[in-house]
Chains A and B, each alone.
Chain A
């Protein structure tokens, strides 16, 4: 099946710094990628929908100026957490849809665990 990778798999940073997380579709092209956040013992919550070549669509309550999303190519989307604070510590997961595949197939990355000290 199609593979989605994330980098880094985990990161620890100081409060106030910015962290960039990459999401790559390794063997397929993805016009649309999704970014989710998951706090401990909770389910995944959609943060934003990332569209190649256009602005991301953010879910209600997600600050677009804090969580910057760039989808510059059909295989790469990045999420930058700007001025990170301890409350941003979470598990961030991306998913991607195969441009040439069936509309009902979506593939998830392994996740990135962010810890803000």
Chain B
């Protein structure tokens, strides 16, 4: 799987949009971009994933650059409950493939 690079930490004001960047310059054509988050002492929670088109769901939006070498996860209106570690992972859509977690970005939403 391709490696990803994320900033170690970010702050965001409550109610503002949180934009979390991820670099994956060596991504292959068949690899998806996934975002998970982990709130303290809980298991990872799926947020969103995409291949090359931008995606949006009830939790977030995923913006993938045209060359697919980077992406941004957007939480449109961050709340205190969004404070967590956010992981950007790239992997092929293969049944037997696990997820390789990097250190992620620790997002702190401030009141």
Q: How many B residues face the partner with a CB closer than 8 A?
A: 25
Contact B95 A97 (CB under 8 A): yes
CA distance A45 to B46 in the complex (A): 17
Pair A43/B44 contact, Cβ less than 8 Å? no
Say if the beta carbon of B29 comes within 8 Å of chain A: no
- Would you call A43 and B95 a contact (CB within 8 A)? no
Complex contact B46–A102 (CB within 8 A): no
- Residues of chain B within 8 A of A107, CB atoms compared: 46
Other-chain contact of A108, B41, B45, B93, B100 (Cβ < 8 Å): B45
A-chain residues with CB within 8 Å of residue B38 when the two chains form the complex: 44
Partner-A contacts on B (CB < 8 A): 32, 34, 36, 38, 41-46, 49, 87, 91, 93-104
Instruction: Give A contacts to B, CB under 8 Å.
Output: 1, 4, 6, 31-32, 34, 36, 42-46, 49, 91, 93, 95, 97, 102-111, 113
